[in-house]
Structure 1
Amino acid sequence: MRARWIAVLRTPVGAGAGLLLLLVLLLALFAPVLWSEQANAIDTEQLLQGSSSAHWLGTDSLGRDIFYRVLVASRTSILLALSATAIAVITGLALGCAPTMMGRRAGRVTTAVVNIAVAFPGLLLALFFAVIFGVGAKGAVLAIGFAGAPAFARLTQTLVAGIGERDFVAAARIAGVGRFRTLLRHILPNIAEPLVVNATIGAGGALLAFAGLSFLGLGVQPPAYDWGRLMGEGLNGIYVHPAAALAPGVAVVIAGLAFNLFGEAVAKGFGVPVLKGAQVRERLPETTPAAPADDEAVLVVKDLYVSFPGPITPVRGVSFTVGKGEIVGVVGESGSGKSLTALAVAQLIESPGQVRASELSFLGAPLLGRLAGRGTAAARRRLLGTSFAMVFQDPMTSFNPTKRIGVQLAEGAREHQGLSRRQAMARAIDRLRAVRVPAAERRARQYPHEFSGGMRQRAMIGMGLMGTPALIVADEPTTALDVTVQRQVLRLLETIRTEDDVAVLLISHDITVVAQVCDRVLVMYAGRIVEDLPSSELATGARHPYTRALLAAVPDLETPLDEPLAVIPGRPVDPAQLPSGCAFAARCEFAEDRCLTEDPALVIHGPDHQLACWNPQGASAAWQARYLGSAAIRTGQR
């Protein structure tokens, strides 16, 4: 925890926002003590004076110094904003935890109330509650606090629901621990970080809302004053004396920025998604939640986002599950987000890249956010080191050219399994034999450059088999290999799946190869999954125009030589300049007006079939015959 805070404060934004927030809080604490007398001193000879050396921002209608009044008003403004934030957090926690504490029926009622409240704009709710609680600081605090509660309640419900499904919570319930104690000891400590981060950002919003109510005359009443009231008092003379209205407005902006920027910096440092109201920070397309994970789920990915400064989000809301012994293929053009998805799953996205997800778990163990801290970093490394295997596109760059193959394979076994040097080397030789490397004992003493491309790829798979992998992520493992070696590598993966019941996530640009090897196919475009269907239905069941275009673009022996090859018109979209509607609309011959304005969500289209398209296409008999015939020819060739 301490290391995370230090890392946040070491960033330029974190250090700057932290210093600014500290200065704002110190001003709120000491300004009334130091300058209340000057702020309240009435001088009838200096009424409505402009800026001068004696009064930097001029005076008001009673001759009071505006500069000192702005400084002294900081305590009231900050204190009331923090009070409103505290009410919002406490009320939001109570509403968010209600489904856990009160049971299913009462919880549904509470959830429905929260959902209705979230649908209304926060400022509208604040005005509504201000009328109910009455004019004045007390009524404004309650109004803003209760108006902000639905957003925190929605966030709390989401976090509590995620933690409530964990095994350690189920174990506590089986042991007889009561609901309140389970919530207090097991659930709330695991959701504290995102709540604190969002409360920090919410304080900035509460400050702005409170200033708005006081400006309208619904907040602080005279003789008390805050920044919003000072803006209202200075509004009448803004053309002849602008400093009287602008100075408190600038103070609101600076203090609001201090809270918001510091909250944003903490969110990035802690890897916590930040919610504003009922919306996420960025405009994120809706996705259909993946099915609940079961005991057979090896990898669960829900609403995965990978973003880089810019902001650029090349992976947007990807959700899928890989079951035990299942081969799932991911296909798409270059730049569709396939490899970044694999790297995010493998925890290989480095700063300044950011990875966030509703859930990212491997063998039931969370890999992101606060939940990932339940175990030690060493335990998590051991889990990934022994049960997770990654096969990269270019094994030549994955192996250290200065070390022998056997030494590199043995290194993981010594690190994660505690084997001796001799035992680890024996294990490495055995794994090289398992992946059909001839003369494995001699090959283990060779360097990577002495291996052919296919042999290096086999050795790379063998490295993943040094432990007892439950999942192999193969990122285009057949790239730059001839068709014979490609088939050998793919058969090797199939054999490993069959013999050891290992799940495989196969990423490839060749949709026909994926269709022949995999059980299920995920088609990605512009960072999203646009179609998810069984590979057996790819020929007859593909409905997305992009999927069908990928299939049609694969040449075969029946392709007429005197006709141009089928291509997908246009170019893939730039992740930094995503269109407002369907990302494929500009290249799709079936695009309609709705496709240009609304991004389709990934929804259920049939048994084991999901689709994100406003105008799905059917497969004609001629197209099916052509594809099925060419697929049979390719299968025979391979």
Structure 2
Amino acid sequence: MPHPHHDSSLRHRLGRTLRTPLGVTALTACLLVALVAVLGPVLLGDRAARIDTDAINQGSSAAHLLGTDQLGRDIAARVVVATRPTLRLTLLAAVIGVGGGLLLGVAPAVVGRRPGRLIPAVVGVLVAFPGLLFLLFLATVFGVGTTGAVFAVGLAMVPPMARLVQNLTASVAGSDYVAAARILGVGRFRMVVRHLLPNIAEPSVLFATQATGGILVAFSGLSFLGLGVQPPQYDWGRLLNEQLSRVFVNPAAALAPGAAVVLTGLMFGLVGEVLAQAGGRRAPRTAEPAPPPQPSPTTGEAAVAGDDGALVRARGLRVTFPGGRQAVRGISLDIHAGEAVGLVGESGSGKSLSALALADLVPHPGRVSADALRFDGADLRADPRLGTGLAMVFQDPMASLNPALRVGRQLAEVAEVHLGASRARAAARAVDRLGAVRIAAPERRARQRPHEYSGGMRQRAVIAMGLMGRPRLIIADEPTTALDTVVQKQVLGLLAEVREESGAALLLISHDLAVVAQVCERVLVMYAGLIVEDLPVGELLGGAAHPYTRALVGTAPTMAADPGKELATIPGRPPEPGEAGAGCPFAPRCDRARNRCQEDTPELTDLGPGRRVACWYPAGPAATTSRTVEATS
């Protein structure tokens, strides 16, 4: 697991979260409760224990804010003093629950096969057992008193904690790095400490923190029932029990311990929410200085120029990850209304991240910055919301559809949320859109769930979801990769029909040049986070100028290729984000590279009408050959 870097570390994210209103509230509450727990017994311990037979069962007064109990002791002082034992016993029970849950949770991943099956089965049975009955059963087993209540509440927390840890551990245990560690002979204890626990720490801590609030309520409940803390000791639950009979005479005395339990439980919930925000992508983002833009002769003027009819205009678009690693390094592109643009390149070249940056969908902790970023005349840097003007079609439609919901309901939600349509009108539009993407019997199909669809139908349904609004731009990220050739051709034809009917522009991301040539009018070639060539699709095979583009074309198999000849490959590998230094990033793999290519980074410059290339020594027009683009479909 990669270690956190700089601003993405948990410590920095936690610091930012604590500066939000939620964080300030949680921190203030924690400090207040801690001060009461530490100083309460010191300052009010004698007052809470002092018996005054002349002041028995008095109501609220200046001398006794909440009145007195049946022995004349000050109830307010007793509530304050009870904070320390209540928190101490609650945290002790939480330690038992968290510790036991972790042990049972990670055990199936490190013990033998039979115990590894038995432990989850036992945990499943315990989780299925009603929690309150299980708690009362344990309290009866351990007996009345503080010790028994601590063990009962703590052990009652073990099954849900163990189930969570088991699920988290199972997902991590199947990772490649865990398999590699096993092959290298890493011991079981080291496997747990080094590879499993660090990867499940954040959700486990979040669950434990929020569950602690439930432990507080459960422990107070046992004391209220007389099964927990016994006289002369007392906690909030015991105080509530003592004053319940006087709730109509002196309600403040009875409600104060209950209010303390509720407010402290809410404090634990706030702490859990702060940890959740600090540990996940909801962490608040602070403004960062943008990395220096890549040199470009048009960057300065484009940042202030008009759109010139462009639907999408990006200048100096960058996606940066922790450690200063740039996956997209200052690209500039225009997409006009109704235009179909292909974005091609090897895996890791930055194609998908560029599209996600346009849609403000780059996953945390990625950071998007740009000198100019406009969509349909609006500045996306000031307001990244695109509404229904953008439709996304992802590579895996099953990941885009909720398997638990009916397809029609998922499509209808788009119209309800973004268009303000009623439920009935949204459902009708969902059926209409399913029919528009050539799904037979759309009324019946709308009532089905995604697993009842074939792969091609799911991809059509995702396209229909994008058409629920009024998209001006459709971004299709490898939409045909997981489909067979027949369905692939159908989906590509559908995208063409959708463009013709709606007038939407299309940004098609693919590594398949045949697919791009079949659908698009213009091609952008990316390498190492940069656009290295921009050319009409008709020039892709015979007129590419950048050595990388020509190499990509050379590796694409065709029906005319000699079956006995090995496929061409590009030597070497693309640089990882952050590896590219000075010079042309393709130079280490280029047979045309010279000294200048190693020292100076070429800019994307005009090479002719509708053509740009970033190369110091571009190739001339290739000889005309009989080779044609043949779609693998």
TM-score interval (norm. to shorter): 0.5 to 0.7
Alignment of 1:81-230 (within 5 A): none
In 1, the alpha carbon distance for the partners of 2:615 and 2:627 equals 22
CA contact (8 A) 1:437 1:455 kept: yes
Q: Select which of 324, 332, 343 maps to 2:345.
A: 332
Equivalent pair of 1:512/1:551 in contact (CA under 8 Å): no
1:627 maps onto 2:627 in alignment: yes
Aligned to 2:504: 502
Q: Offset at 1:302?
A: 1.1
Structure 2, unmatched stretches of 5+, are 1-9, 21-283
Instruction: Quote how far apart the aligned CAs of 1:282 are.
Output: 4.6
> Which of 372, 389, 392 is the equivalent residue of 1:390?
392
Q: Identify the match of residue 577 of structure 2 among 575, 578, 587.
A: 575
- 2:405 maps to 403
1:443 counterpart residue number: 445
What letter matches 1:284 in structure 2? Q
Aligned twin of 1:66: none
Q: CA deviation at 1:577?
A: 1.4
Q: Is the 8 A contact 2:547 2:590 kept in 1?
A: yes
Residue pair 1:388, 1:471 contacting (<8 A) in 2 also: yes
Look up the match of 1:555: 557
Report how far residue 512 of structure 1 moved: 2.2
- For 1:360, the equivalent position in structure 2 comes to 373
User: 1:299 and 1:282, CA in 2 relative to 1: closer, same or farther beyond 3 A?
Assistant: closer
Aligned equivalents of 2:360 and 2:526: distance in 1?
20
* Distance in 1 separating the partners of 2:622 and 2:481: 32
Residue in 1 that maps onto 2:465 = 463
1:406 to 1:15, Cα distance in 2 relative to 1, 3 A: closer
1:536 deviates by 1.9
Partner of 1:315: 328
C-alpha separation in 1, matches of 2:311 and 2:492: 21
Percent of residue pairs bearing the same amino acid type: 53
Q: 1:581 to 1:431 in 2, by over 3 A?
A: same
C-alpha deviations, 1:372-418, integer Å up to 9, x for none? 2xxxxxxx64xx23211000010101111100000000001001111
> Which residue of the partner structure matches residue 568 of structure 2?
566
Q: What code does the residue aligned with 1:296 have?
A: G
Alignment partners' CA distance in 2, 1:589 and 1:343: 33
Instruction: Determine which structure has more spread, i.e. the larger CA radius of gyration.
Output: 2
Change (3 A) 1:580 1:498: same
**Structure 1 residues 12, 484: CA separation in 2 closer, same or farther (over 3 Å shift)?**
same
User: 1:299, 1:363 within 8 Å by CA — same for their partners in 2?
Assistant: yes
**Alpha-carbon distance in 2 for matches of 1:552, 1:533:** 17
C-alpha distance in 1, partners of 2:345/2:553? 11
Q: Given residue 570 of structure 1, which amino acid in structure 2 is its aligned partner?
A: G
CA positional deviation for 1:269: 4.1
1:576 Cα shift?
A: 2.5
Deviations 1:33-58 (A, max 9, x none): xxxxxxxxxxxxxxxxxxxxxxxxxx
Report how far residue 293 of structure 1 moved. Answer: 4.4
Partner of 2:294: 284
Contact between 2:293 and 2:330, CA under 8 Å: does it hold in 1? Answer: no
Q: What letter corresponds to residue 348 of structure 1 in structure 2?
A: L
Q: How does 1:513-552 map to 2 (within 5 A)?
A: 513-552=515-554
Compute the displacement of 1:619 (Å).
Answer: 3.4
Which 5+ residue runs of structure 1 have no aligned equivalent?
Answer: 1-7, 19-267, 275-280, 373-379
Q: 1:287 Cα shift?
A: 5.9
Q: How far is the alpha carbon of 1:9 from its aligned partner?
A: 12
Number of residue pairs the alignment of both structures matches = 358
Task: Indicate how the Cα distance of structure 1 residues 287 and 514 shifts in structure 2: closer, same or farther if over 3 A, else same.
Answer: farther
TM-score between the two structures when normalised by the length of structure 2: 0.54
Helix, strand or coil at the partner of 1:491: helix
Partner of 1:481: 483
Distance in 2 (CA, whole Å) between partners of 1:613 and 1:17 is 47
Could you tell me how far 1:483 is from its partner in structure 2?
1.3
Task: Write the distance in 1 (CA, Å) between the matches of 2:18 and 2:597.
Answer: 43
Verify: 1:414 aligned to 2:416, yes or no.
Answer: yes
CA distance in 2, matches of 1:482, 1:530: 31
Displacement of 1:14:
6.2
Deviation at 1:11, TM superposition (A): 3.9
Normalising by the residue count of structure 1, what TM-score does the alignment of the two structures yield?
0.53
DSSP 3-state at the match of 1:473? strand
What code does the residue aligned with 1:327 have? Answer: A
Answer yes or no: is 1:614 the counterpart of 2:627: no
